A and B are shown apart, each in its own frame.
Chain A
Amino acid sequence: MLAYIMRRILATLPVMGVVVVFVFLLVRIAPGDPAAIIAGDYATPEAIQKIRAGLGLDKPIHVQFGLYVTSLLKGDLGVSLHSRLPVRQLILQRVEPTIALATSTLIFAILVAIPLGILAASKAGSLIDRAVMVFAVGGFSVPIFWLGFLLIFVFSVKLDLLPVQGYVSFREGFAPFVKHLILPTLALGMAYVALLARITRASLLEVLHSEYIRTAYAKGLRPASVLFLHALKNAAVPVLTTIGVGFALLIGGVVITESVFALPGLGRLTVDAVLQRDYAIIQGVTLIFAFVYALVNLAVDLAYTLFDPRIRY
């Protein structure tokens, strides 16, 4: 198992290499001049050129790439073109809200989606099943930002129950930490819940039609026992896969959610960096996300072994 884990981690290195080259080139090919943005609207062309030279952006692209890769190999993600702070420091400053939001969304989605999916599958064809499926379609179709604004309007502005925006670290108090995460989690989690509920239902339905389930019923087991002791475990593998694949959906959604709710996380850092052409941050954050995504998928693959003893690495 350990050897498998090490092999998988090592296998991410060529992936990271491709990401490094791809993102480096993409940000530089895209239109936009960070020096002009930094200099401001009324700067003269000479002032802009001086800034460009100061940032090293006037060097040939292969020289810039060489310098970047050299730093990267030393673990240095570079320095923000705008704030001149190390990218690593900026990421560490902003990672907590993103982890908090992603974790709370994942927990919320699993706790809500799986029971919903089970309910729909166990009552397949009934009104409950249809209601769950309508919810799933709706939840997946509704834009996150729209849902976010609606939640703010209802729960913050009208009912005054929850804050509109911002993030409070759990170190500053558990209650305010939770309060500030509720609405962003709901907004981001809906699409994830919808997706997971559908997959859980579909996977469970397939399993429930299997012969061994019929045998279990024939043996006289209660429906609840059949569902939770036999069917669910066997239906878990596709659900786990969806959780892993859906993580990409989560990362994309985090970007929007953090902007709507003004959470100072990595998503917003990325959006701001893209708009400002802060190459170092774009490159650094993309690398981090790519690496985390690879790790999440590794975790999902390892989790299979918990549910299906036939799977061994």
Chain B
Amino acid sequence: MRSRRIARRFLTLLILGCVGSSPPVVGHPEAQTVRAVMHAELKFFDPLFTTADITQNHGYMIYDTLFALDEKGQPQLQMVDTYRISADKLAYTFTLRSGLKWHDGKPVRSADAVASLKRWAVKDAAGQKLIARTASLEATNDRTFVLKLKEPYALTIRALAKEYSYVPFILPEREAVQDPSKPFEGEKIGSGPFMFVEKEWVPGAKAVYVKFKDYVPRKEAASYYAGGKTVNVERVEWIVIPDQSTAVAALEKGEVDYLQRPQVDQWPLLRKNPTVGMYLGDVYQMQIHPNHLVPPFDNVKAREALMLMVNQADYLQAIAGDPQNWRTCYSYLGCKGWLETDIGADLLKKQDLDRAKQLLAEAGYKGEKIVVMAPSDYPTINAAALTTAAMLRKLGVNVDLQTMDWGTLTSRRPIKDPPSKNPAGWHIFHTTSGYAPLKDPWGHANISTACDKAWFGWPCSPRATKALDELADLSPGTDAFKKGLAEYHSALMENIPYVPLGEFFQYAAYRKDRLSHIVETPFAVFWSMVKQ
């Protein structure tokens, strides 16, 4: 009898051991590990090889930058300790902070910075503008380097503080001197607050970072990407969970601590959970991109018709549902940012379907099929595409809505031929821009009006291109800058490179009973974060 009782108890314990779970003890290494579900899997490690956000995010983990933007959008010193600008504004002398080290223990030198900037400037639009004005960029000693310009450039420091693709991360010289059109070869070593643990990387499943114990954070408080990057956790794991519902369930159950970009249909569930906190990670502008090379959208009247067709609230409701998840915005350059302006946006502010129909007819539209590409694997963009198709049909347009995955869309996007000549041709696609590129038109590919050198859609406006170039030479905040900005925005509204559909929000979600002191940035950063 007694032996049966013991056996039963043993069996119960065995079963409980198999099915039960216990939380990690505070102080245990598990408790100092943050498990985050990022928006994509990490495949590439060279932040200059690809514009993919996840690679830039990886860059923020292991690399550092000379300057960084604070929460007010102002460039602040980061790796740079001090800098001097000559009286004629042609020479910038930068001195690096002392004590900066690479993850292999070697000191960071100004030669690393010089090589990294030169490599960055080959590929990055903001870097190209800077290097075009550069006479020389040289290290003068191990901690100092000098940038000499051919002409003053007011955006020099802002360019070096660029926060999105391509971020001017500083790499070791041996990697920075390699061809930027290929991923660099060598170890993934930076001087940033985390080290990448390559031996634990499982492509498509997990990426692991550990605290770099020799990192010397700045003394200021963390502010956006600037300030002190103090790491309070030992380890960060990026877990890949492809299904959104599973990721949310994992967060609710505590198997993960953080979701970088949960989809909008999951937000009501997350908001209801008392253990989950959410913060605004990023703001996106949805855009209709017409093909400027193909009739009828080669005629500005057809593009004006698109503008008049749009009621931003309708689109945003379809994309993000609840009004607390979006806001209308009639600025190409983002709302609530330093470049916000809605000069010239009259066509966008009030929907007028009758006028839109009239303009389409005046543009020469005679009922031919209009190909609208819709990516079914991007819910927000797909929602916008479906709305556009519906609105175009209301205008009497013969819509050919073609559903495909994003990979197919990106392979068709470069095709300039009309659909009547090439079945892979297109008239309209949709996409988004994050808040950072909106505030940086010099580096923002989507808004380029450089004709055949522009981004897909190939908008052509010498007036807008010139106005943007001239704006780069004006000091922000001055009357001349405001006038230049007005001219630029008017030129954009005249040409309509794309139709802005307003802004919707992207929230990140986290276990607020475990994580605190989160720095709220579009690229998830794990410095400052505390896990209890």
Binding site for B on A (CB under 8 A): 31-33, 36-45, 47-48, 50-51, 54, 80, 82-85, 90, 93-94, 149, 152-153, 156-157, 160-166, 175, 178-179, 259-262, 264, 268-269, 271-272, 275-277
Contacts and interface: CB of A to CB of B under 8 A. Distances in A.
Contacts of B408: 31-32
Given A31-B412, A262-B241, A152 B249 contact: yes
Nearest to A33: B411
Nearest to B20: A161
Interface string B237-253: 00111110111011011
A156 B249 contact: yes
Q: Which 9 pairs, one residue from A and one from B, show the smallest C-beta to C-beta distance?
A: A40-B51, A264-B205, A33-B411, A32-B407, A31-B408, A42-B51, A262-B241, A50-B181, A82-B43
Contacts of B123: 47
Contacts of B20: 161
A43 B411 contact: no
A50 B55 CA distance: 19
Interface residues of B, number: 52
Contacts, number: 137
A50 B510 CA distance: 39
Interface of B: 17-21, 41, 43-44, 49-52, 55, 123, 165, 181-183, 202-206, 239-243, 245-247, 249-250, 252-253, 255, 377, 404-405, 407-408, 410-414, 424, 431, 437, 445-446, 455
B204 A54 contact: no
Contacts of A264: 202, 204-206, 240
Contact of A37 (B242, B245, B407, B431): B407
Contacts of A272: 41, 204, 242
B449 to A, nearest CB: 15
Contacts of B377: 275
B255 A166 contact: yes
Contact of B203 (A32, A45, A90, A149): A90
A153 to B, nearest CB: 7
A262 B411 contact: no
A179 B377 CA distance: 31
Contacts of B411: 31-33, 36
Contacts of B165: 40, 42
A-side interface mostly: helix
B19 A149 contact: no
A164 B250 contact: yes
Contact of B405 (A54, A165, A179, A275): A275
B255 A275 contact: no
Nearest to A93: B202
Contact of B404 (A31, A48, A162): A31
A164 B35 CA distance: 14
Contacts of A80: 203
Which of B17, B182, B205, B408 has the most CB atoms of chain A within a 10 A radius of its CB? B205
Which of A80, A166, A275 has the most CB atoms of chain B within a 10 A radius of its CB? A166
B200 to A, nearest CB: 12
Contacts of A82: 43-44, 203
Contacts of A90: 203
A94 B240 CA distance: 14
A165 B250 contact: yes
A165 B255 contact: yes
Contacts of A163: 21, 253, 255
Nearest to B453: A44
B251 to A, nearest CB: 9
Given A31-B411, A38-B44, A85-B203, A259 B252 contact: no
Contact of A83 (B52, B203, B249): B203
Nearest to A85: B203
16 contacts: A32-B411, A37-B410, A40-B51, A40-B165, A41-B52, A42-B455, A44-B445, A82-B203, A149-B246, A175-B17, A175-B18, A178-B18, A264-B202, A264-B206, A272-B242, A275-B407
Contact of B21 (A149, A160, A259, A261): A160
Contacts of A94: 202, 204-205
A38 B411 CA distance: 11
A264 B238 CA distance: 13
A166 B407 contact: no
B242 A268 contact: yes
Given A157-B249, A160-B21, A41 B242 contact: no
A37 B54 CA distance: 13
A117 B421 CA distance: 60
Which of A36, A80, A93, A94 has the most CB atoms of chain B within a 10 A radius of its CB? A36
A45 to B, nearest CB: 6
